[in-house]
Every structure is written in structure tokens, then in C-alpha cells.
Amino acid sequence: MFEGRPNRGAEIVFCGRSNVGKSTLLRELTGHDFQTGQKPGVTRSPGHYDWNPEDFVLTDLPGFGFMSGVPDEDRERIKTDVVQYIETHAEKILVGVLVIDGKSAVDIIDRHTERGDIPHDVELFDFLRDVGIPTVVAVNKMDKVDDRDERLNAICERLGLPSPWQQWQDTIAPVSAKRGSIGPLTDAIGSHLHEQKRDDLLKFF
């Protein structure tokens, strides 16, 4: 189990597969440099961005799924640790942000489904909602996607949300972290914070 979480009463967690751009997204949000790397699986323990003196922390959970050079049992352990972390702190987590790669997510989900597996992204989305955490899917790398609406509709359908995607703007946030285009994500997070009467945290987004 991960150690070293700051003692904070409120948290937003970022999770998702390796190499989907979580750390870049967090850097764009906070101006703080999270550990990033070209190789998947660089982030192996959570990164916490702690806003002193606010009772609030942003957490970058390790990526999971395929990582070149990482044994299967290590990958499984990381995924288990991520799930346990979310479960343990669920009451304090105001929003869970699942980051996916807009260009490849549908293909990856379909590949797993065809093999009879539950795709990680779908599993994590359902899990966040099952433990009562308001969930936003940050669909990253949208600058590389041509058929934007079709792709976002397909992602919604894979996650069990009826299309069109536009009716899910509190849940589906198309972004391009590298280009600094993250408005839909900050809007979605802001709406969930407002619903939970945490307007004091809106200044961070």
C-alpha cells in the first residue's frame, strides 16, 4: 500500500493507464512539475501536490496497464495499490479524474473486450462511481483526433453512457494537456466542487 499521503481532509485524484498524459495534465493545472518520462510506468508511487495552508491535496496515482520492462506481477500490484488507495480515502476524495488517451482508448477497450477481459479504463470508471466518487473522464490528446464527436460518442458508449457526449459535460472532458487546452476539465471539476459546497477550492481551477 502507498505510504506518505499528506494529512488532508479533501483530495482530488488523477488515475489512468500509463502514458496517457496524467503528469502533463497535472503540470498544466498546477504549474508544478510532476515526474514524467517517455517510458510508461515512470510514476510508481503517488505524487501529492499539497496546497498549504488549504486542507486539500491533488494526487497523481501511478499509471497501470502495459509497461515495457515491468513484470506482470508488478503491474498487478500497482493496480491493486491504486484501487486500495481510492477505497481507503474515498470519503475524502471530492473528484476522481480518470485520464484516457482520446486517440487510442476505444481501440484498447475493444481489444480487451474481444479477449473477454474487463478493460482497465471501464473497470476504474465503474469502481470510482461505485465507491461514490464524482468522476470526470479527461479525454486527453484530443488535438490528435480528427473525428472528435464520433470519438467522444464512442468513448461514452464504452463507459455505459448514452451518446451524444455533449450531455455529459460534467463527466466527459475533452482536453489537450500538451497544448494547455484544459478548460473542459477545470469546468467539470468546478461543477463537482460547487455541488459539494467546496467553492473555496474553485480558485485552484
CATH number of the domain at 28, please: 3.40.50.300
Q: Is residue 1 in a domain?
A: no
Across residues 150-169, what is the average pLDDT?
A: 97
Confidence of residue 105 (pLDDT cuts 50, 70, 90): very high
Kindly give, in sequence order, each residue whose CB lies less than 8 Å from that of residue 16, ignoring residues fewer than 6 positions away. Answer: 22, 63, 98, 99, 100, 121, 124
Q: Is residue 17 in a domain?
A: yes
Q: Is residue 63 in a domain?
A: yes
Q: Is residue 201 in a domain?
A: no
What CA–CA distance (Å, rounded) separates 65 from 20?
11
Q: Is residue 4 in a domain?
A: no
Q: Is residue 147 in a domain?
A: yes
The predicted structure's pLDDT at residue 71: 78
Q: Quick one: cell of 187?
A: 469546468
Across residues 57-73, what is the average pLDDT?
A: 80
Describe the crossing of helices 120-130 and 72-89 by its angle, rounded to 10 degrees.
20
Q: Residue 39 pLDDT > 70, yes or no?
A: no
Average pLDDT over the chain, rounded to an integer: 89
What CA–CA distance (Å, rounded) separates 31 from 108?
30
Q: Is residue 202 in a domain?
A: no
Q: Quick one: cell of 79?
A: 493496480
Identity of residue 103: K
More confident of the two residues 152 and 37: 152
Q: Is residue 189 in a domain?
A: yes
Domain of 111 in residue numbering reads as 11-196
The predicted structure's pLDDT at residue 75: 79
Q: Residue 124 pLDDT > 60, yes or no?
A: yes
Residue 115 CA from chain centroid, whole number:
24
Count of domains forming the chain? 1
The predicted structure's pLDDT at residue 37: 45
Confidence of residue 30 (pLDDT cuts 50, 70, 90): confident
